[in-house]
Structure 1
Amino acid sequence: MKYLALVYYDENIIKAMSSEEWGSLNRECLACVEGLQNSGHFLAGQALQPVESATTIRVRDGKATTTDGPFAETKEQLAGFYMLDARDLNEALQLARKIPPARLGSVEIRPVREIEPFADTAFTDDRPWRAEVQ
Structure 2
Amino acid sequence: MKYLILIHSNPASRAAWEQLSEEQRANFGHSHLALNDALAAEGVLAGSEGLQPVDTAKRVSVRDGRTITSDGPFAEVKEHLAGFYIVDVDSVDEAVAIAARVPDAQFGAVEVRPVYDMSQLES
TM over 0.5: yes
TM-score interval, smaller chain: 0.7 to 0.9
**Structure 1 CA distance for aligned equivalents of residues 92 and 53 of structure 2:** 29
**Structure 1 CA distance for aligned equivalents of residues 55 and 74 of structure 2:** 12
Query: Where does structure 1 differ by over 4 angstroms across 4 or more consecutive aligned residues?
Result: none
Instruction: Report the count of equivalent residues.
Output: 120
| 2:55 pairs with 1:46 | no
Report which stretch shifted further, 88-97 or 3-12. 3-12
Question: Matched residue of 2:36: which SS?
Answer: helix
Which residue, out of 72, 90, 97, partners 1:87? Answer: 90
Identity percentage of aligned residues: 38
Which residue, out of 53, 61, 64, partners 1:61? Answer: 64
In structure 2, stretches of 5+ residues that fail to align are none
Report which stretch shifted further, 82-91 or 2-11. 2-11
| 2:25 pairs with 1:13 | no
Structure-1 residue corresponding to 2:26: 23
After superposition, the C-alpha distances for 1:44-101 in whole angstroms (9 at most, x for unaligned) are 1111111111111122332322111154643222111101011111111111111001
The one-letter code matched in structure 1 to 2:84 is F
Question: Matched residue of 1:116: which SS?
Answer: helix
Pick closer, same or farther for the CA change 1:46–1:20 going to 2, 3 Å. same
The one-letter code matched in structure 1 to 2:105 is A
Question: Matched residue of 1:4: which SS?
Answer: strand
Q: TM-score, normalised by structure 1?
A: 0.76
Question: Matched residue of 2:31: which SS?
Answer: helix
**Structure 1 CA distance for aligned equivalents of residues 4 and 75 of structure 2:** 20
RMSD, matched Cα: 2.4
Higher helix share: 2
**Structure 1 CA distance for aligned equivalents of residues 106 and 39 of structure 2:** 18
**Structure 1 CA distance for aligned equivalents of residues 15 and 87 of structure 2:** 26
Query: Based on CA coordinates, which of the two structures has the bigger radius of gyration?
Result: 1
